[in-house]
Every structure is written in C-alpha cells, then in structure tokens.
C-alpha cells in the first residue's frame, strides 16, 4: 500500500502513531502491484513493528546530476583503473527520460555546473547524517542548525565551484536560510531522539542473475526489534502530485530489490520524506513487484547495451529539457553531439558480468 501523509505538527515522545486515509482520496493504479495510492492527512506517521516512523518532503522530478554511487570508484574489476560500472536508480531514470542524457553522464561523463537545488539537498543530507553521530539526547534542532555552517564549509572545500551559484552575499544568505528552514521542517516531521538507524549513507551493491550489477546509496536504514526493515530517503523538494508518485517510488523499489537480493527479505516499508512541504510518501512493497522490477531492469540493460553497441543514444524532448545542462550538445536544440569515447563505452559495458 502507498500513502502520502501531511505532517503539520509532531507528536511528542511516546505518542501513538497512526495514519487515517482521507475520505476523498482518489485511488490510482500502482506499478506492478495493483495496490492503491491513497492520500492520508494526519499530524503523525504510522508505526512499523515497534519502529517510530517520521516524515520529511521530496524533490520535484527534475534531472539528476552525478550521484554518490558514481563517485564511489576504486581501481578494481574494470579497465582504466576504475571500479566496475553499475546501473543506479539515477542513471536508469536518465536513460528512460533521455538516452542521450544517459550517454553524456554515464559514458562521456561530462562535467555539469552545480545546481542550487541539488547542492542544497546535499547540504541538508550531510547535516542529517551528522546529526545521528550525536547521542540521542543531543539530537535537537539547535544541534542540527549548528552543523549547517561547518558542513557548508566542508562542501565548499570539496567543490569550490559551488560559490559560483550565487550573485553575492545576499543571494547566498537567502539560500542558506532556505536550508535552515528545511532542517526546521525535519524536526516537525520526525523526532530523531527516538530513532537509532541501523545504517546511514549505506552503499548497496548486488548482481542480478542476469549479471547486471546494481549500485545505490541508501540515506537511512531502520530496523525494528522484530527485524522489519524500513528504507528512508530524504528529499528537500515537495512531494509529487499523485500522478507522479509511481515515478518517485522507482528509486525506493530499486533499493528494495537490491536489499531483497542481498538479504533474502523484502523491506517492510519504503519511505520518502519530503522536507519541502512536510509530507511523507510510504509504500509497503511485495515480492511480486520486485520481481517485475528486476525483469524491467534486465530489459532496460539490454536496450542500453544495444545503444552502446551502435552508438545510437537518441535524444528525447520533454519538459525536463528545461533543466538539462547539455542543451548546447543536443541536436534537438541545434547542438552537435561530440564523438563518443570508446573507453567510456568499454567501461559502461562492465556493468554486466561476462558469461561464465
């Protein structure tokens, strides 16, 4: 079952957590399951097997830049001293959105200018990760706010180009104020003093039976006393319209598939926390939908490898082109596509293990 919940206030410690579906919720078909998507309005979040569940908001569906799973590279298992390639949720979404975008990011690996929205998301994620380094009693909003400036300094040291996003000190100040407001919203949605995550920023890799390697980073993994697993992802934008909830859940089902194939147990709950408007999207996956997703990813990889073999990564025009960094190289916008680097193709194809 999939639910979207509004969290305008937060329950105190020990309060009962439940979710009541709105009477006028309009059901919609859910991918591969036949489940219904409902909208729930409540001031709390549901409880799962003894876990206290919280909430936070999600990002508009805009293109993703390079992700942590691409940054995690070690010189083993592939040519040119690079880690074996893998299919991530972001790159899978890229190919489905626009094969040429996928090529520029996964094959050519072209640099992209920093995005204010993406960098703000990285900053807030870093603060929330550091917050759980503190003892439970110290996980207050004041502590989180005090972490923001040091994390911003660290981010600037790692990526000096982020300063170019701002016209001046006032512009930067307004942007940092937005980040602070997202942290305030987080504390309206969850009580981190009641949570002890099993994992944070967890790198997950698994190879499907087809030989395709999957890779991703999970923001937070919670495990209840009864062993039930909740996968949590923070989003700094707003929760999507119900029409786009299935697309938003693609990333979470991807994580669920990897964890299921690694551990043999389907996660009990997937939870997207949207800090932008104080809503949470939850879904309780079933094995059948993960089997369907695995088949879909195998077919997707076949299409990707065919495009790599022919060099034919076609552009696809959509409203998301407005956010694309590569319009100057796109023939749909009068650009000229550069030659495809052979070493990039060679590395991409390492994502599928050679038959034994």
What pLDDT, in 10s, does the model give residues 133-181?
999 999 999 999 999 999 999 999 999 999 999 999 999 999 999 999 9
Q: In this predicted model, which residue has the larger pLDDT, 59 or 200?
A: 200
- Phi/psi for 82 (5° steps) reads -120, 150
User: In three state form, how does the secondary structure of 217-251 look?
Assistant: EEEEEEECCCCCEEEEEEECCCCCCHHHHHHHHHH
Would you say residue 270 has pLDDT above 70? Answer: yes
- Mean pLDDT to the nearest integer, 184-188: 98
pLDDT of 65: 41
Work out the average pLDDT over 70-77: 41
Q: What pLDDT band is residue 46 in, cutting at 50, 70 and 90? A: very low
Closest CA to 274 of 30, 6, 28, 56: 56
Name, in order, each residue with C-beta under 8 angstroms of 248's C-beta and a sequence gap of 6 or more: 58, 61, 239, 240, 272, 281
Q: What are the tens digits of pLDDT across the range 315-355?
A: 999 999 999 999 999 999 999 999 999 999 999 999 999 87
Percent of the chain's residues with pLDDT above 90 = 74
Q: Is residue 70's pLDDT more than 60?
A: no
Q: Is 193 helix (H, G, I), strand (E, B) or coil?
A: helix
Instruction: Of 7-11, 67-71, 218-222, 352-356, give the range with the top mean pLDDT.
Output: 218-222
Burial bucket for residue 55 (CB in 10 Å: 0-12, 13-18, 19+):
buried
Per-residue pLDDT band for 28 (boundaries 50, 70, 90) equals very low
Give the per-residue pLDDT at 119.
Answer: 97
Q: Which pLDDT does position 4 carry in this prediction?
A: 60
Question: Is 1 a residue whose pLDDT tops 60?
Answer: yes
pLDDT > 70 in the chain, percent: 77
């Amino acid at each position: 079952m999939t639910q979207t919940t509004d969290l305008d206030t937060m329950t105190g410690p020990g309060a009962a957590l439940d979710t009541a579906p709105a009477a006028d919720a309009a059901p919609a078909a859910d991918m591969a399951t036949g489940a219904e998507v409902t909208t729930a309005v409540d001031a709390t979040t549901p409880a799962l097997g003894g876990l206290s569940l919280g909430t936070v908001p999600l990002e508009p569906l805009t293109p993703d830049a390079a992700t942590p799973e691409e940054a995690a590279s070690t010189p083993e298992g592939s040519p040119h001293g690079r880690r074996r390639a893998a299919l991530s949720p972001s790159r899978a979404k890229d190919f489905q959105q626009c094969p040429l975008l996928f090529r520029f990011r996964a094959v050519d690996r072209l640099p992209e200018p920093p995005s204010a929205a993406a960098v703000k998301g990285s900053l807030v994620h870093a603060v929330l990760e550091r917050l759980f380094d503190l003892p439970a009693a110290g996980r207050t909003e004041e502590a989180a706010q005090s972490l923001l400036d040091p994390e911003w300094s660290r981010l600037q040291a790692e990526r000096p180009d982020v300063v170019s996003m701002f016209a001046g000190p006032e512009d930067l100040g307004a942007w940092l104020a937005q980040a602070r407001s997202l942290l305030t919203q987080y504390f309206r949605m969850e009580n981190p003093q009641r949570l002890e995550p099993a994992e944070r920023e967890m790198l997950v890799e698994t190879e499907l039976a087809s030989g395709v390697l999957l890779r991703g980073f999970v923001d937070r993994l919670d495990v209840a006393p009864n062993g039930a697993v909740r996968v949590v992802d923070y989003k700094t934008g707003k929760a999507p319209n119900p029409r786009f909830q299935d697309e938003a859940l693609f990333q979470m089902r991807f994580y669920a598939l990897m964890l299921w194939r690694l551990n043999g147990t389907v996660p009990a709950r997937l939870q997207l926390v949207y800090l932008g408007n104080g809503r949470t999207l939850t879904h309780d996956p079933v094995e059948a939908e993960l089997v369907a997703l695995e088949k879909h990813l195998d077919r997707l990889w076949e299409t990707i490898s065919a495009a790599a073999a022919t060099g034919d990564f076609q552009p696809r025009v959509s409203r998301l082109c407005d956010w694309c960094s590569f319009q100057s190289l796109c023939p749909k916008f009068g650009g000229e596509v550069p030659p495809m680097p052979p070493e990039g193709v060679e590395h991409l194809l390492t994502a599928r293990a050679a038959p034994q």
